[in-house]
Structure 1
Amino acid sequence: MNVIASKAQLRASFLRWALFMVPLVLLIGFAAGQLGGPNTAWFAGLEKPAIYPPPAAFGIVWTILFTLIGLSLAMVASAWGAPGRVMALVVFAVHFLGTQAWSAVFFGMQDMLGGLMVLGYGIATLLIALALIWRVRRGAAMLLLPYLAWLCFAAVLNYQFMIANPDGGQSGGDGAATRVQL
């Protein structure tokens, strides 16, 4: 027997998924941030590009973006029976987990080119995920557009760091550089 869910049941399903997805995305983002951060002598010694925002902006922006990502995923996950639902979630998961390597690569390994490559991967795979998510829930795809914009900005910023620091920041005057190999 086919039974269509009521609006209340659909809302309840979305809320359950949101209560799971938002904290999960925030937790993954927080854990990835622990693999490397800007509080190193190497990063402090880098020439900062003119477009580099105040450091406090990053925590605020990422918290908002991770919340939007969690809500978007909850919209897709609660779309039971929608064609392509599982594929959209899997492709986004592969994208998201891959992009979380950026902190470890850029800050931990102090590899600006590697960081730019991670962001290139992130933008390309997010575009694929967006196309799949759009087919399931257009609103969910729209919630991810600020994230795409931020990844593009991050790639430009990463590139500007490379231009401003052609030596990779390794020839600082005081020799205070730490390189971590993962």
Structure 2
Amino acid sequence: MVDDALQARPWVRIALVAVLVFEMLGWASGYLSQSGYGNSWFDALQKPSFMPPGWLFGVVWPILYAMLGVAVAMIIALPPSPKRTGALTLFGIQMALNFAWSPVFFALHDIELAKYIIIMMVVLSAIAAGQFFRLRPPAGVLMIPYLAWLVFATTLNTVIGTLNPGASQPLFG
């Protein structure tokens, strides 16, 4: 039965690898930068009243990475074309920014640079989702929860910066 599904949808095999890679890179980014609660610098920051509990991030991110892995696999499985290449390029850039955000925010303590990184992630992810939707609609739809979470995370990043003047340690002066 499972073997039939793998034969019928060539993107399924790609998705298995993509999900695993995204989960591992996401975990590594968070672990190496000591992201979240338990990071003494972050724990000392004033948080907004709408800040979710730490455990929620550990639930949400793996789900989002799995959805992104499936979405990108659906696009990778399409025949090569300039539109496919453009969509995958935008997706790849925003994922690189995604994996850079935790080290910038949690390890380097640069709240402002992290805010600009996440804003760029939102913009590039929205464009990539639109391109994914035009190429294969379910792939674009799978990116909507990620976009919603990024907007929420951007709000958190911005409010934390506002609540903690002087807490940011700018990387570039």
After superposing the two structures, state which structure 1 stretch, 141-150 or 38-47, moved more.
38-47
Return the index of the structure with the highest Cα Rg: 1
Separation (CA, whole Å) in 1 of partners of 2:104 and 2:147: 20
**Residue 105 in structure 1 maps to residue 104 in structure 2:** yes
SS at match of 2:32: coil
Q: 1:41 to 1:130 in 2, by over 3 A?
A: same
Q: CA RMSD in A?
A: 2.3
**Residue 55 of structure 1: CA displacement?**
0.3
* 1:22 counterpart letter in structure 2: V
For structure 2, the 5+ residue unaligned runs are: none
Separation (CA, whole Å) in 2 of partners of 1:112 and 1:180: 8
After superposing the two structures, state which structure 1 stretch, 138-147 or 72-81, moved more.
72-81
> 2:142 — aligned with what?
143
SS at match of 1:52: coil
> 1:57 — aligned with what?
56
Alpha-carbon contact 2:19-2:66 (below 8 Å) kept: yes
Q: Deviations over 1:9-66 (max 9, x none)?
A: 8734122111111111111211211331132221111111101101000010001100
> 1:46 — aligned with what?
45
Separation (CA, whole Å) in 1 of partners of 2:90 and 2:170: 30
For structure 1, the 5+ residue unaligned runs are: 1-6, 170-178
After superposing the two structures, state which structure 1 stretch, 107-116 or 32-41, moved more.
32-41
Equivalent runs, 1:27-176 vs 2, <5 Å:
27-36=24-33, 37-38=35-36, 39-80=38-79, 84-168=83-167
Separation (CA, whole Å) in 2 of partners of 1:47 and 1:8: 49
Q: Percent identity?
A: 33
Separation (CA, whole Å) in 2 of partners of 1:126 and 1:64: 17
Using the size of structure 2 for normalisation, the TM-score is 0.87
SS at match of 1:47: coil
Higher relative helix content: 2
